[in-house]
Amino acid sequence: MSDQWFSEREEKDVTFRKDEENISSPFYVPMECLEITENSKQHITVDVIVEEKFELFVNNVHVTTFFASPYELEELALGFIVCEGFIGPEIQVDSIKIEDRSIFCEIEINTPELEELTHLERCGTTSFRKDVIKHINSDTKFTTDTIIHAVSQLKELGRTWHRTGGAHTSIIYNNQGEVLFFCEDVGRACSVDKVVGKALINGVNLSECALATTGRLASTMVSKAMNAGIPLISSKGATVRESVELADKAGMTLVAFVRGKDLYVYAGERRIKNK
């Protein structure tokens, strides 16, 4: 499969990825644009990903504003409050309700405690988060082949990415390389929140799983995996110093530059075993 997200076209007004049927989706809409190439100009129809604004309230306290794809919002909310450290992955959420562009969650946490959490602004959202490092004690191990196979599935499963070039994909996989859940979103952080939320809704023990996501492994991505209790995070992309330091302190395994048959293990080598 080509690294390009579009396919060659032989005529005007066809959607990118012409090998797939043109179906309606909450993720994207067809729009017209002017394509300029070295040899020609033409108006074509392409699929453009949708980004909408959603407000999250926890116990009626406004916690964050998402700019996200309008799909799997319950998974997004649950994954966010776990990945941002409001509650542990073992805590039950009383209810999640969607009303228009607002998501309302009820959880067993004191409202004053919510209001006292650190206030941060990042990645287009405003959120409350506890700055606490959680240690990951999982003894689950992964082979290099398992990690390489899982990361390769990010592109294969990313239907919206194939059609728009504008989506991020995240997957939860086990130590046999089986992809258990995957989610796409216009935002990388939201794709992680959604796939974690989906796994928790289905009762999966995340301490026995790994996370793979598209894009750079920033410290915010490692922090989300840590709070969810995931022992290994991986990506085809690069990482940053703060991510490596956080993964090392939390006892996590951080794997980046997973390309072809090669990968870099920046932290947590003990979880990587031979083929």
> One digit per residue, pLDDT tens: the chain, 275 residues?
344 545 443 443 333 343 344 444 678 999 999 999 999 999 999 999 999 999 999 999 888 999 999 999 999 999 999 999 888 999 889 999 999 999 999 998 777 777 666 666 555 456 666 678 999 999 999 999 999 999 999 988 888 888 888 899 999 999 998 999 999 999 999 999 999 999 999 999 999 999 999 999 999 999 999 999 999 999 999 999 999 999 999 999 999 999 999 999 999 999 998 76
Record: fold of 142-273: Cytidine Deaminase; domain 2 (3.40.140)
The domain 53-129 having CATH identifier 3.40.50.670: the answer here is no
pLDDT at 127: 63
Say what the pLDDT of residue 23 is: 44
Question: Looking at the chain, which residues constitute the CATH 3.40.140.10 domain(s)?
Answer: 142-273
d(CA 233, CA 240): 13
CA distances from 199 to 83, 104, 181, 207, 243 (A): 12, 20, 7, 11, 23
User: Where are the CATH 3.10.20.10 domain residues in the chain?
Assistant: 53-129
Q: Write the CB contacts of 65 (distance below 8 Å, at least 6 apart in sequence).
A: 53, 54, 55, 56, 124, 125, 126
pLDDT in the model for residue 223: 94
Residue pair 149/210 in contact by the 8 Å Cβ criterion: no
